C-alpha cells in the first residue's frame, strides 16, 4: 500500500516517487516541455477517416493529431459500435478527451465519453449512474455515499465515488460535486466560443493527481518551498512536510537506487537467477534466466514477484510476454499464474494473465497511463540516457 510520497523539484523537472514503506513502487517524471495531456478536454476538428469507419483523426492542437476509434466514439461504453463515419464527418468540430498520451509515432488516444476527476468523485456527464470504488467495501458506507450523491445529482449526472470518499463528511463531497459540475459547464460554455483546435479544460497536474489517487498517505515530503506552500493551500488536511536534510531527497529515500535498477535490462534475484526485461515498440519481452540456480517453480515464483514490481516501477504498458523457466506439471503452472495475479493485484493498471500459451509463454497487458521510464530517460531504442536526462541530472547536481 502506498503510504509515502517523495517530491523532488528541480529546474525543468519535477519527480514524484510513491513508496510502500521503504520500497519505491512508482516514479513519475513531470518535465517542462513534455507535459502530459492525459484527461484534458479539447474542441478538435476531424481531419481524416480510416477506411470502413473504424476511426477518425482529430486535430486537437498538439504535435500529432489524436485518434478516436469507433468504440470510443460510442455514447455508452457497453453500447453497439457503429462505423464512425455515420456520426462524424471531415471538418466537423467535436469535443473529445485525451485517454492516453502520444506513444512513439502515434498521436494521443481520444474518447467522446469524458470524465472529470476530483478529490472524492469522478464526474461522468450524461451517463446517469452512480458507481463506487471497489475499495469501498463496508455495506453501510457504500449505502451512505450512494444516497448522498443520488440526492444531490441531477437526472443525467453520472458519478463514481473514489476510495478517498470513505468516512468523509457530506460537505466536502458535495463541494467536489459542485466543482466538477462547474468545470464541465465552463468547458461547454468555452466550446460555444472557441475555434478548434482549443483546450477547454485541463486535468489536474501529476502531483495533484497523485495526492488525489492515494488518500490516507502517512507522509508527503517535498524539497521545494513554493511547491509545499501551493499544496498546503490545495490540500489543507494533508500532512505535508519540508525536506530538511543535506543529501538529495531521492538519495535519502533510496529512490535514485531504484531508478538505476529500473534503467537496466537485467534484475538479479536472490537465488542467483535473473529477470531480463526488454521493451520494444510492439511489446515488452521478459525472460527468466536460471543462472545455474535450481528449482524452476521456486525461481519462477521469485521472478513473478519481481516482474510485477518492475512493470509498475518502469511504467511498462501494452502487451507483455513472459518466458518463465520450463514447468511441465499443470499444478505448478496454475500455482504460478495464481501467484502472478496476487502480485499484480495492487497495480490497478495491470490485467493478470489467465494461463500459458501453446508455446509455454505467459501473456498479459498493462494499461498505458504515461510513457515508460525507458522512454523518458533513454534514447529511442537504446538503453542510454538521452541528452535531456543528462542535462537535468547535471542541473540537479549544480543546484545542490
Phi and psi angles of residue 314, each rounded to the nearest 5 degrees, phi first? -85, -5
Residue-level pLDDT at 370? 83
Q: What is the pLDDT of residue 61?
A: 94
DSSP secondary structure code for residue 204 in this structure: P
Please report, to the nearest 10 degrees, the dihedral formed by the alpha carbons of residues 87, 44, 349, 207 taken in order. Answer: -150
**Strands in 130-239 per DSSP E:** 130-132, 159-161, 198-201, 219-222
Q: What per-residue confidence (pLDDT) applies to 237? A: 81
Determine if the peptide bond prior to 197 is cis (ω within 30°): yes
CA distance 371 to 35: 11
Longest dimension (CA), the chain: 68
Is residue 366 a contact partner of residue 318, using CB atoms and an 8 Å limit?
yes
Q: What is the pLDDT along the chain (400 residues), one digit of tens a residue?
A: 899 999 999 989 999 999 999 999 999 999 887 778 889 999 999 999 998 889 999 999 998 999 999 999 987 777 778 889 888 999 999 999 999 888 777 889 999 999 999 989 999 998 888 999 988 999 999 999 999 999 998 878 899 999 889 999 999 999 999 999 999 999 999 998 999 999 999 999 899 999 988 888 899 999 999 999 999 998 888 889 999 999 999 999 999 999 999 999 999 999 999 999 999 888 999 999 999 999 999 999 999 999 999 999 999 999 999 999 999 899 999 999 999 999 999 998 999 998 999 999 999 999 987 889 998 999 877 788 999 999 998 888 776 6
- pLDDT for the residue 213: 87
C-alpha gyration radius of the chain: 23
pLDDT the model gives residue 128 = 81
| Residues in Cβ contact with 45 at an 8 Å cutoff, skipping those fewer than 6 apart | 58, 59, 91, 92, 93, 94, 196, 197
**Whole-number pLDDT of residue 40:** 95
pLDDT at 77: 75
Please, is 20 exposed, middle or buried when counting C-beta atoms within 10 Å of its C-beta (0-12, 13-18, 19+)? middle
Residue 289, helix vs strand vs coil: strand
Cα 55 from Cα 334, distance rounded (Å): 39
Amino acid at each position: 500500500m502506498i503510504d509515502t510520497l517523495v517530491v523532488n523539484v528541480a529546474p525543468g523537472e519535477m519527480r514524484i516517487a510513491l513508496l510502500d514503506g521503504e520500497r519505491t513502487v512508482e516514479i513519475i517524471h513531470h518535465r517542462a516541455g513534455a507535459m502530459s495531456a492525459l484527461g484534458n478536454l479539447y474542441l478538435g476538428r476531424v481531419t481524416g477517416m480510416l477506411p470502413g469507419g473504424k476511426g477518425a483523426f482529430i486535430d486537437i492542437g498538439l504535435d500529432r493529431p489524436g485518434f478516436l476509434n469507433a468504440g470510443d466514439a460510442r455514447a455508452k461504453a457497453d453500447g453497439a459500435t457503429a462505423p464512425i463515419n455515420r456520426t462524424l464527418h471531415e471538418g466537423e468540430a467535436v469535443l473529445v478527451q485525451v485517454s492516453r498520451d502520444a506513444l512513439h509515432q502515434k498521436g494521443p488516444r481520444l474518447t467522446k465519453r469524458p470524465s472529470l476527476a476530483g478529490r472524492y468523485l469522478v464526474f461522468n456527464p450524461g451517463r446517469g449512474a452512480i458507481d463506487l470504488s471497489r475499495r469501498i467495501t463496508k455495506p453501510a458506507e457504500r449505502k451512505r455515499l450512494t444516497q448522498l450523491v443520488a440526492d444531490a445529482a441531477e437526472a443525467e449526472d453520472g458519478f463514481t465515488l473514489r476510495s478517498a470518499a470513505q468516512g468523509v463528511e457530506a460537505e466536502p463531497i458535495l463541494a467536489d460535486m459542485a466543482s466538477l459540475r462547474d468545470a464541465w459547464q465552463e468547458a461547454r460554455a468555452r466550446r460555444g466560443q472557441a475555434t478548434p483546435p482549443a483546450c477547454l479544460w485541463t486535468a489536474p497536474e501529476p502531483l495533484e493527481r497523485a495526492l488525489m489517487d492515494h488518500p490516507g498517505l502517512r507522509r508527503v515530503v517535498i524539497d521545494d518551498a513554493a511547491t509545499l506552500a501551493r499544496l498546503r493551500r490545495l490540500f489543507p488536511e494533508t500532512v505535508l512536510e519540508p525536506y530538511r536534510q543535506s543529501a538529495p531527497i531521492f538519495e535519502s529515500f533510496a529512490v535514485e537506487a531504484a531508478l538505476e535498477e529500473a534503467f537496466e535490462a537485467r534484475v538479479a534475484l536472490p537465488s542467483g537467477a535473473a529477470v531480463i526485461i526488454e521493451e520494444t515498440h510492439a511489446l515488452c519481452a521478459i525472460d527468466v534466466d536460471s543462472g545455474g540456480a535450481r528449482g524452476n517453480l521456486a525461481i519462477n515464483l521469485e521472478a513473478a514477484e519481481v516482474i510485477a514490481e518492475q512493470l509498475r516501477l518502469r511504467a511498462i504498458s501494452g502487451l507483455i510476454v513472459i518466458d518463465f523457466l520450463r514447468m511441465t506439471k499443470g499444478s505448478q503452472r496454475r500455482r504460478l499464474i495464481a501467484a502472478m495475479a496476487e502480485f499484480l493485484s495492487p497495480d490497478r493498471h495491470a490485467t493478470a494473465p489467465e494461463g500459458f500459451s501453446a508455446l509455454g509463454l505467459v501473456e498479459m497487458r498493462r494499461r498505458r497511463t504515461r510513457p515508460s521510464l525507458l522512454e523518458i530517460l533513454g534514447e529511442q531504442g537504446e538503453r542510454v540516457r538521452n541528452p535531456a536526462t543528462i542535462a537535468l541530472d547535471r542541473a540537479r547536481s549544480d543546484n545542490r
